[in-house]
Chains A and B, each alone.
Chain A
């Protein structure tokens, strides 16, 4: 067996499981273990973590044996823009209101796509905001302020 990673996908998936397993075990050390008969809050998560570490190791080890694929490229731009769109929305809806929050969300989301035509995005924003206002504010009576002054 050579020490060459044949399946990058499996290798990194294994590492991910090991990582989550270690977090589970380490964090659970703050909780009392108890015994099998009287389980403490730490008992179940500790065992879950240990099993995850073992399974992760198995997945990573198999990556040396079985042929697999390379991990595809990450679309960082879309990741960042969509993450930002959501996060800013969370802040904006309480602070500057429903309508500006949606506008920011739609523009940032649209920017994550392949084509961004200003006119198109403005029309799309208008349609979506009007629709959401009708459905959520008028129809379902969700109590969001529309703008920062109200």
Chain B
């Protein structure tokens, strides 16, 4: 209960840090850029943060993290705006918002749809912030007791979860995990000092840079895929000529309240679980709301719960993804891995000790998230006109600009030609993945966790004298592994599999 007693002093320290003029500015820049990224199709939060990572090298650690986090949750807001107004989700977590959000806009209710999305997101963001503050310290304390077997099993669970929840074939997704682990091994082996998979290139001695892999798979490959899609569809139906009646009616609020609450809970759960994330939260929330609704037939024709639930869910998930990242030092997604990368660049070793050693950083970041969420509500609604204008920029102007940002971003990390060539390699590989319908999200997570997993596997088996049962004889480790196995079994069961395919097909076409 010690943690609860220090809850308020901790938050006070956080707000003290976050409201300094400097940090407020970073927060504002972050959420603004995030919204822009969320609005623009074809560039997701991961690529955006990777591009802007070099720009934060010279900032103080707290400021850098606050800005990057702002970009991250800012994209959730921006994505929902375009989903509702033009049926163009800026990123995958707002795909589901298109269904009813756009229908509402078509019926002249764009205002209430946008408002309820903002209200839901803000509520979810607030709950998420409180959750991190309450759950963080005890989790970090628990994590300090984790040994190598626990860490290994936890990471296994996260990786399998990411594969189970990915689009398309589960077998392919699991194979992608192993490929990612191999990419993670490239570089000097910490135990033997031996260079592995470097093929003689000295630039690879420190391993493949995360920025390079992320930009290739999510930036470069995405441009290639978008250039193809452009041929098919280039018409955009703009509904935002004039938005009247911004405020939702009392009835809207009443109907949405439950959806917001449930969406927040779903998002908090999936967000905390390593490997899951905003996208799957939004879809689960939509499915649940449809099931719980008195008039499920309204879904697809502009049901406000269909906007309120998923929007709350994806924001809660985005926020709660920081829980495993900050308390355990284990990133639950590629984006979170970038956050940890930013920490490392600033000279701070990620892990449970961050909270006690750098309390101003941890609590400042959390407080800034709440402030950032408030800023987004203020920023988003009045500036809708600007976002809509931004959407009208044709893609043929957009992608050369993205190329410029990517190339400078990659090159400025190490000033190394090889980094650019490797980005091209991963870009081509990412394009092949798209063609073969192999989902890259599990790969990138495995890539990040690869070295950690090998290290913990090594240590665990060293302690147990080579006996692999150690993972099942230690209770916490066994718990993680049993959960993993259950997850796999449930997914293999025929009716669940059918359902999963159904949901994921909807996701693919939505």
Give me the interface of A with B, judged by CB distance under 8 Å. 9-10, 12-13, 16-17, 20-21, 24, 27-28, 31-32, 35-41, 44-45, 48-49, 51-52, 55-56, 58-59, 62, 69, 71-72, 74-75, 78-79, 82-83, 85-87, 89-91, 93-94, 102, 105-106, 109-110, 112-115, 120, 124, 128, 132, 136, 140-142
**B175-209 Cβ-contact flags toward A at 8 Å (1 or 0):** 10011011001000101101011000000000000
Asked if B223 and A13 make an inter-chain contact with CB atoms under 8 angstroms apart, the answer reads no
Asked if A41 and B396 make an inter-chain contact with CB atoms under 8 angstroms apart, the answer reads no
Asked if B403 and A36 make an inter-chain contact with CB atoms under 8 angstroms apart, the answer reads no
Partner of B462, one of A32, A38, A58, A140: A38
Tell me, in angstroms, the Cα distance from A85 to B196 when the chains sit together: 30
Asked if A114 and B230 make an inter-chain contact with CB atoms under 8 angstroms apart, the answer reads yes
Q: Which of B55, B58, B435, B457 has the largest count of A CB atoms less than 10 A from its CB?
A: B435
Instruction: Point out the residues of chain B lying under 8 angstroms from A82, CB to CB.
Output: 220, 223-224, 403, 424, 427
Q: Which of A10, A35, A49 has the largest count of B CB atoms less than 10 A from its CB?
A: A10
User: Does B399 have its Cβ within 8 Å of any Cβ on chain A?
Assistant: yes
Asked if A86 and B191 make an inter-chain contact with CB atoms under 8 angstroms apart, the answer reads no
Instruction: Point out the residues of chain B lying under 8 angstroms from A78, CB to CB.
Output: 224, 227-228
Task: Indicate whether A128 sits within 8 Å of B400 (C-beta atoms), given known contacts A49-B182, A71-B435.
Answer: yes
Instruction: Point out the residues of chain A lying under 8 angstroms from B7, CB to CB.
Output: none
Asked if A37 and B172 make an inter-chain contact with CB atoms under 8 angstroms apart, the answer reads no
User: Does B144 have its Cβ within 8 Å of any Cβ on chain A?
Assistant: no
The 6 closest A-B pairs by CB, nearest first: A37-B466, A90-B420, A36-B466, A13-B436, A55-B175, A41-B189
User: Does B358 have its Cβ within 8 Å of any Cβ on chain A?
Assistant: no
Instruction: Point out the residues of chain B lying under 8 angstroms from A56, CB to CB.
Output: 175
Tell me, in angstroms, the Cα distance from A39 to B401 when the chains sit together: 47
Partner of A109, one of B403, B411, B438: B403
Asked if B424 and A39 make an inter-chain contact with CB atoms under 8 angstroms apart, the answer reads no
Q: Considering the complex, which residues of chain B in the window 451-471 have a beta carbon less than 8 Å from any beta carbon of chain A?
A: 454, 457-458, 461-462, 465-466, 468
**Residue in chain A with minimal CB distance to B419:** A90
Asked if A45 and B196 make an inter-chain contact with CB atoms under 8 angstroms apart, the answer reads yes
Tell me, in angstroms, the Cα distance from A141 to B407 when the chains sit together: 16
Number of interface residues of B (CB under 8 A): 59
User: Does B250 have its Cβ within 8 Å of any Cβ on chain A?
Assistant: no
**B394-428 Cβ-contact flags toward A at 8 Å (1 or 0):** 01110111011001100110000100110110011
Partner of A20, one of B55, B179, B436: B179
Task: Indicate whether A106 sits within 8 Å of B404 (C-beta atoms), given known contacts A55-B171, A114-B227.
Answer: yes
Asked if A37 and B224 make an inter-chain contact with CB atoms under 8 angstroms apart, the answer reads no
Instruction: Point out the residues of chain A lying under 8 angstroms from B461, CB to CB.
Output: 36-37, 39
Asked if B412 and A90 make an inter-chain contact with CB atoms under 8 angstroms apart, the answer reads no
Majority-rule SS of B interface residues? helix
Instruction: Point out the residues of chain B lying under 8 angstroms from A105, CB to CB.
Output: 400, 403-404, 407
Instruction: Point out the residues of chain A lying under 8 angstroms from B270, CB to CB.
Output: none
Instruction: Point out the residues of chain B lying under 8 angstroms from A142, CB to CB.
Output: 408, 412
B31 to chain A, nearest CB (A): 19
Partner of B179, one of A52, A71, A75: A52
**B8-31 Cβ-contact flags toward A at 8 Å (1 or 0):** 000000000000000000000000
| 8 CB-based A-B contacts, threshold 8 Å | A13-B436, A13-B438, A24-B197, A82-B220, A82-B427, A120-B396, A128-B404, A136-B408
Asked if A115 and B172 make an inter-chain contact with CB atoms under 8 angstroms apart, the answer reads no
Q: Knowing that A9-B437, A71-B436, A90-B421 are A-B contacts, what are 18 other residue pairs whose CB atoms are under 8 Å apart, sorted by A's residue number?
A: A16-B436, A17-B178, A28-B196, A41-B191, A41-B196, A45-B196, A48-B185, A49-B182, A56-B175, A78-B224, A82-B223, A82-B224, A82-B403, A105-B400, A120-B396, A128-B400, A128-B401, A132-B408
Asked if B428 and A90 make an inter-chain contact with CB atoms under 8 angstroms apart, the answer reads no
Asked if A44 and B424 make an inter-chain contact with CB atoms under 8 angstroms apart, the answer reads no
Instruction: Point out the residues of chain B lying under 8 angstroms from A89, CB to CB.
Output: 407, 411, 420
Asked if B224 and A75 make an inter-chain contact with CB atoms under 8 angstroms apart, the answer reads yes
Instruction: Point out the residues of chain A lying under 8 angstroms from B196, CB to CB.
Output: 27-28, 31, 41, 45
Asked if A124 and B397 make an inter-chain contact with CB atoms under 8 angstroms apart, the answer reads yes
**Residue in chain A with minimal CB distance to B400:** A109
**Residue in chain B with minimal CB distance to A142:** B412
**Residue in chain A with minimal CB distance to B406:** A86
A23 to chain B, nearest CB (A): 9
**B214-239 Cβ-contact flags toward A at 8 Å (1 or 0):** 00000010011001101100000000
Instruction: Point out the residues of chain B lying under 8 angstroms from A55, CB to CB.
Output: 171, 174-175, 178
B145 to chain A, nearest CB (A): 24
User: Does B473 have its Cβ within 8 Å of any Cβ on chain A?
Assistant: no
A59 to chain B, nearest CB (A): 6
Tell me, in angstroms, the Cα distance from A124 to B407 when the chains sit together: 17
Q: Which of B185, B407, B435, B466 has the largest count of A CB atoms less than 10 A from its CB?
A: B407
Instruction: Point out the residues of chain A lying under 8 angstroms from B436, CB to CB.
Output: 9-10, 12-13, 16, 71
